[in-house]
Amino acid sequence: MSVHGAIWDAAHWPDRWTVRHVAETGSTNADLLADLDAGLVGERSVLVTDHQTAGRGRLDRRWDAPPGTNLLVSIALAPVPSVPVEATHRVGLAALSAVREVRPDARVALKWPNDLLLDHRKLAGILAQRSSTRDAVVVGLGLNVAWAPDGAARLGSSVRPGDVLARLLAHVDELDGPIGPRYRSELSTIGQRVRLELPAGAAVEGTAIDVDAAGRLVVRSDDGVVSAFEVGDVVHVRPGENRV
């Protein structure tokens, strides 16, 4: 166990969660997914680390932080929801509730498809990967606690990553049944003017008007066409500012 290991004291984890801590790894998602595929762990297994050397976010972007500063964790969930993106939505909603508990003053919201914002700046990102052998998914979360890159937000050094994780897991347990309405209600993207950058390099600008039952973002473009998008990188365009 690393010098930071004491903050991951297993005594405070919610019931039926198995949390394993490692000082350093390449990627908690890759490690937990490999263990899940091999049948070495089951659902409700969690892998948390002080430092990732090969962590990544959406679109293969690198996700890194100084050792021991942030919450870097992956969570195995089963079964895969009938709408698979609900796995990331569930973890996002649980993280939102956890942040509100440790920082009651925080103005936090979700951003489509899988970010948490604090005061309109990125606080956390979420990435899900499906098991190739089981009806399960691994959801990874990188949440800025004591450190954040330029332009991003953090909770502050008075917050313990372990406390955030314990609360997050408890809130995952509370999210039974359909979560679509709650996800939409917490989504700051709806009603925003957005620029949606698509994987092929194209972009659409308009107003985000909804998220449909499949988790796709519904945008009314500037020429009045309404389309639903399964993937893309969203920029919230606010008056007087460039992007979030």
pLDDT tens over the chain, length 244 residues: 333 444 566 558 999 999 999 999 999 999 999 999 999 999 999 999 999 987 555 445 565 678 889 999 999 999 999 999 999 999 999 999 999 999 999 999 999 999 999 999 999 999 999 999 999 999 999 999 999 999 999 999 999 999 999 999 999 999 977 899 999 999 999 999 999 998 878 899 999 999 999 999 999 998 999 999 998 899 998 654 544 5
Which runs of consecutive H residues, i.e. helices, occur in the chain? 28-37, 86-102, 161-174, 180-185
State which H helix or E strand residue 56 sits in.
Answer: none
Give the integer Cα–Cα distance in Å for 228 and 218: 4
Scored b (16 or more CB within 10 A) or e, 99-138 reads beebbeebebbbbbbbbbbbeeebbbbbbbbebeebebbb
Tell me the β-bridge partners of 221: 206
Tell me the β-bridge partners of 193: 207
pLDDT attached to residue 2: 35
pLDDT attached to residue 3: 34
**pTM across the whole model:** 0.90
Please give the C-alpha separations between residue 213 and each of 58, 110, 130, 178, 185, in angstroms, as whole numbers: 22, 17, 20, 10, 14
- Whose CA is closest to 211, among 106, 81, 127, 112? 112
Please give the C-alpha separations between residue 153 and each of 63, 104, 117, 143, 204, in angstroms, as whole numbers: 14, 15, 8, 9, 27
Give the integer Cα–Cα distance in Å for 187 and 176: 19
With contact defined as beta carbons under 8 Å apart, do 162 and 9 qualify?
yes
